[in-house]
Amino acid sequence: IITITNSLFSNNFTDLPGTADGSGGAINFNQKAQVTIANSTFDSNRAEGVSYGANGGALVIINNTTQFQIINSTITDNFAGWAGGGIAASNGILRNTIIAYNTADNGTNDWDILQQCAGELVDGGNNLQYPPRNSNPNYYNEITCFAGKSAIAQMGLPDFQNPLLDSLADNGGPTQTRSPQSNSPAIDYGNDTVCAGAYVNNVDQ
């Protein structure tokens, strides 16, 4: 069982020597771990490489038989050389979480897909992804971070707005955070029950 709360992961990178690519710029869980991440920020981490092994600029969570959860967290401005600039994972659920401004090079191809996530996750509600998925219909394997929200369905949904976040700064608390600007759609968008629940307990990062 692995629980991460009230933490900042910033400017980490993985870059294996030789021709091998690195995955999970900040954290790579590739075992049957039971993972919970809450009240945490992953910003400007990098998974370097130019082929299909460079995934999950911030996080890789695979081979987990128990659904992981990410709660009240911010995953921004991370980079992957192949896919999943923010997260490369499956079998997980997101709640009250922002995934935005992440990028993936797709191995120097011009596909412009899988920028935020390299696998669809369960939408536990009150999440924001930005930008939305590439709406080019030729890319059958392009996804959103939230399962079931297609290119057509995402249009007009509040889940795909720019969260308008400031850069990392000391906004109070033990770590730096990315504060929402005064006109950010993230303000008051979170679910109050989740905020009051386990791991958060009505205290933000």
Q: What is the per-residue pLDDT for 74? A: 98
CA nearest neighbour of 129 among 107, 106, 147: 147
Q: Strand 2-5 and strand 41-43: pairing? A: unpaired
3-state secondary structure of 192: helix
Phi, psi of 168 (to 5 degrees): -55, 135
Q: How far apart are CA 20 and CA 6, in angstroms?
A: 32
Q: Is the pLDDT of residue 150 over 80?
A: no
Q: What is the per-residue pLDDT for 185? A: 96
Average pLDDT score over residue span 59-74: 96
Q: Is the pLDDT of residue 90 over 90?
A: no
Classify residue 5 by its DSSP letter. E
Q: What is the per-residue pLDDT for 147? A: 84
CA nearest neighbour of 200 among 71, 95, 106, 114: 71
Instruction: Express each pLDDT in 40-64 by its tens digit.
Output: 999 999 999 988 889 999 999 999 9
Query: Taking the model in full, what pTM does it have?
Result: 0.94
CA nearest neighbour of 98 among 159, 23, 188: 159
Interacting residues of 189 by C-beta distance below 8 A, sequence separation 6+: 126, 128, 158
The helix (H) or strand (E) run that includes residue 3 is strand 2-5
Are the CB atoms for 77 and 131 separated by under 8 Å?
A: no
